[in-house]
Amino acid sequence: MNNVPLLDTPIEYLSGVGTFRADLLKLELRIFTFRDLIQCFPFRYVDKTQFHRIQDLDESAAELPVQLRGILRRVEVMGETRSRRLVGVLREDTGQSIELVWFQSIIYLEKTLVVGAEYVAFGKTSWFNHKPSLPHPEMEIVTTENTTLANAFEPVYPSTEKLNARSLDSRARRKMVKNIFDKLQPETLGECLPEYLMTAYRLMPQYEAYYNIHFPKNQVDLEAARRRLKFQELFFLQLKMLKNKQHQRNTIQGYSFERIGEKFNEFYHKHLGFELTGAQKRVLREIRHDVGSSRQMNRLLQGDVGCGKTVVALLAMLIGIDNGYQACLMAPTEILAQQHHEGIAKLCEPLGLTVAFLSGSVKGKKREQLLRQLKNNYINILIGTHAIFEDWVEFDKLGIAIIDEQHRFGVEQRAKLWKKANPLPPHILVMSATPIPRTLAMTLYGDLDVSVIDELPAGRKPIKTVHCYENHRLRIIGFMKDEIAKGRQIYVVYPLIEESEKLDLQNLMSGYEALTNDFPKPEYHISVVHGKMRGEAKDFEMQRFLNKETQIMIATTVIEVGVNVPNASVMVIENTERFGLSQLHQLRGRVGRGAEQSYCVLMSAYKLSEEGRERIRVMCATTDGFEIAEADMRLRGPGDIEGTQQSGVLNLKIADLAKDQRILQAARDIAQTILEKDPNLMLPENARLKHYLEVMAQTAKIWSRIS
């Protein structure tokens, strides 16, 4: 391994690791090299700068860790079978003693502990009859070499049961990291940030930051190391994304839609029937600028359920049609695609445009005819499901493609759209009704232009949200009957579809039985929809509800996306505490589609966690999707928000998007300024940045081969 740079050395070559332990580190923590090990940062620190005295120990602070120093006076095994334990006595220089107790690893400890030696004992006290003892303390013998170790913040690393069982716990990993730093020199690690950046923002050098994140002497050094490494991580993420965006803008041409023509103007002035909101007009101007610029549009359109994204998408498609091109719109489910088709076909009827529908269920001669018309440019707008991505779907002149519920489609599928247009790729507009916090959008979609519709159309009444416990059940049933008597429809949503012994939940099927007693036939009719039903059965039940043949739809979260029933005015969510905030908000968005007042009833158990209580409080306090998304990220962390896990972007090692928003914004602004002055990073002062981006790109290629 002599020719391999130190930090790229495979982890099995680190002293004390070997092949078996290396395989465990790779499997459990994705640690393959020395570099991976030093980039697996501690998640907390134990303050070992303070020594306690036995006489000062406080029974009321039993859960707080203590550090004692003294001579180990006695060690003996006591008790039989289950009560067998190893008991020791530590005596400090004041003459005071404390009992040490271990119930595990007794044979190993009995052999290794040295009676008469001086030790540092660390752990949490236990009290019996007002007398302290120290169960399972960490023991470190005091030698001339390690006396300084006690004057530091001790790092605690993420671990698993398998790692702990194979002596790869936090303590062992500290020694492994120390072993690397004994060999590592500042020049070996190098520096990736330019001097002018480090000076301007008072950033610690990279070597010092890595050392101090693992072995800080005090809180000041630790914070400086964290600040440097968080900035570095977020800065290079933004620099890479902004460079990609720059490359896309400068090199990828798009069709130029120069004119706003007859179809657009006729629809906008004669058939729209209402005034667009200020936010819709702003977004439309952004789209018009993109498609008229001879560059390919790549824009994300965000907005809450019911904010009017579809009308903006239709107007964007009409711009393409007026310039002689075809358009398509894709939705993740057949029922949502059908609803888009029905709505858009109706709006386009007075314009004399042909709007076709394609899904996997369109077969035989009907499909053949549709594909022939599409290829011959008889179809202006094609609306459908994933079927549009298939190779056998050929357009004559595809100019603009809209993707609804963007997070339901993979990157590969979106890339297939590029091949549908010839010679240039179509303009792409991706829409999402799942609001994403601004910092998360900057990170996940930093290479896209982002538009936001943050106003609801005039006349929409905010949904009233209330929280109820089980003792309100009869009142809720009465309220549901009153709403049905007014001609309204109701959703009842459950988190589970089968009995679960672990989770004490009222499941969907028992809920269905209870509701059939409260809402008996023939006066009431109930639909049931859940994820384990076949597609046709699910669509049949949804269609019945849409056609007002049933008044109540009992469902799992399959209705979260894709059902537009303006007549549904009540959403009852059972076991609310089992849902995430964004999911609750998406579910609530299924009502409030019409002009009538709508309601969302959050049913929950009496016993709620702090987080569950906070989720319900936020839901009752606001209907703003972006506020809810921010709260969701604060509570759960960005990795759990739908669509982010698969992206691969959020593999952040130290930065936290919920807490480090200011660092992220600063990192993006600085990256933007640098690229404006030096787009290709050719200036000598930016040589480190260029080199580091090249290394990142090379590492990404290696990872793609490993995956």
Which CATH number do you get for residue 79?
2.40.50.140
| Element housing 479 (H / E) | helix 473-485
237 and 267, same domain (yes or no)? no
How far are the Cα atoms of 164, 229, 445 from residue 671, in angstroms, in the given order?
41, 16, 16
Helix axes of 535-546 and 334-348: crossing angle, nearest 10 degrees: 50
Is residue 279 within 8 A of residue 301, CB to CB? The reply is no
Q: What is the pLDDT of residue 525?
A: 93
Q: Whole-angstrom Cα distance, residue 557 to residue 574?
A: 11
Residue 594 contacts residue 440 (beta carbons within 8 Å): no
| Overall domain count for the chain | 5
Q: How confident is the model at residue 249 (pLDDT cuts 50, 70, 90)?
A: confident
- Within-domain flag for 26: yes
CATH code for position 376? 3.40.50.300
pLDDT of residue 502: 46
Question: What's the rounded Cα separation, in Å, for the pair 35 and 546?
Answer: 57
Q: How confident is the model at residue 530 (pLDDT cuts 50, 70, 90)?
A: confident
Q: Are residues 600 and 514 in the same domain?
A: yes
pLDDT score at 413:
62
Structural domain contains residue 636:
no
What pLDDT was estimated at residue 152? 65
Cα 368 to Cα 649: distance, rounded to the nearest angstrom:
41
* Most confident range, picked from 75-84, 203-212, 694-703: 203-212
What pLDDT was estimated at residue 707?
Answer: 34
- Are 199 and 90 in the same domain? no
- DSSP state string for 402-425: EESSGGGS-HHHHHHHHTTSSSSP
Cβ atoms 288, 268 nearer than 8 A: no
Residue where a domain terminates, one of 151, 170, 197: 151
CB atoms within 10 A of CB 210: 23
Instruction: Answer yes or no: is pLDDT of 643 > 60.
Output: no
| Residue 311 in this model has a pLDDT that exceeds 70 | yes
pLDDT tens digit string along 101-154? Answer: 998 878 888 888 999 999 988 888 888 888 889 998 888 888 765 554 445 678
Contact between 610 and 616 (Cβ < 8 Å)? no
| Beta strands at 118-124 and 599-603: parallel, antiparallel or unpaired | unpaired
Q: Which is higher by pLDDT, 304 or 685?
A: 685
Whole-angstrom Cα distance, residue 655 to residue 399? 39
User: What are the respective helix, strand and coil percentages of the chain, to the nearest 5?
Assistant: 45, 15, 35
Q: Are residues 449 and 488 in the same domain?
A: no
- Top pLDDT among 323 and 404 is at 323
Q: Are 136 and 266 found together in one domain? A: no
Are 273 and 389 contained in the same domain?
yes
3-state secondary structure 238-251: HHHHHHHHHHHHHH
Q: How confident is the model at residue 160 (pLDDT cuts 50, 70, 90)?
A: confident
Position 704 confidence tier, pLDDT thresholds 50, 70, 90: very low
Q: Looking at the domain assignment, is residue 663 inside a domain?
A: yes
List of long-range contacts for 347-354, beta carbons under 8 Å, 24+ apart: 347/267, 347/271, 347/314, 348/267, 348/314, 348/380, 348/381, 350/266, 350/270, 350/271, 351/263, 351/266, 351/267, 351/271, 351/318, 353/263, 353/321, 353/380, 353/381, 354/378, 354/379, 354/380, 354/381
Distance CA 55, CA 72 (A): 17
583 contacts: CB under 8 Å, gap ≥ 6: 557, 560, 642
Determine which helix (DSSP H) or strand (DSSP E) holds 379, and give its type and residue range.
none
445-503 confidence digits (pLDDT tens): 766 788 888 887 777 788 899 999 988 999 999 999 999 999 999 999 988 655 554 44
- What is the pLDDT, as a whole number, of residue 147? 53
In a domain, residue 695? The reply is yes
Least confident of 171-180, 327-336, 502-511, 576-585: 502-511
57 and 34 in a common domain: no
Which tokens is 554 given? Answer: 């009992």
Backbone angles phi, psi at 228, to 5 degrees: -65, -50
Q: Are residues 342 and 480 in the same domain?
A: no
Rounded CA gap, 156 and 150, in Å?
15
- 664-683: average pLDDT: 93
Residue 67, domain extent: 50-151
The verdict on residue 653 lying in a domain is no
pTM attached to this predicted model: 0.69
- Percentage of residues in the chain having pLDDT higher than 90: 39
Please tell me whether residues 399 and 429 are part of one structural domain. Answer: yes
pLDDT digits (tens, 9 = 90+) for 107-122: 888 888 999 999 988 8
Residue with tokens 């409260």: 518
In a domain, 651, yes or no: no
At 356 the pLDDT is: 93
pLDDT band at 323 (very low <50, low <70, confident <90, very high): very high
Does 508 share its domain with 475?
yes
Residue 176 lies in a domain: no
Task: Report the pLDDT averaged over residues 497-521.
Answer: 71
Shared domain check, 269 and 193: no
327: pLDDT strictly greater than 90: yes
Per-residue pLDDT of 557-575, as tens digits, reads 766 455 678 888 999 999 8
Q: What is the pLDDT of residue 703?
A: 45
For residues 280 and 360, state if they share a domain: yes
Per the prediction, the chain carries an average pLDDT of 85
CA distance 500 to 680: 57
- Last residue within a domain, chosen from 151, 169, 195: 151
> Is 691 part of any domain?
yes
Domain boundary among 419, 453, 487: 453
pLDDT digits (tens, 9 = 90+) for 612-637: 899 999 999 988 887 888 788 777 66
- Give me the pLDDT at residue 146, please: 55
pLDDT at 364: 87
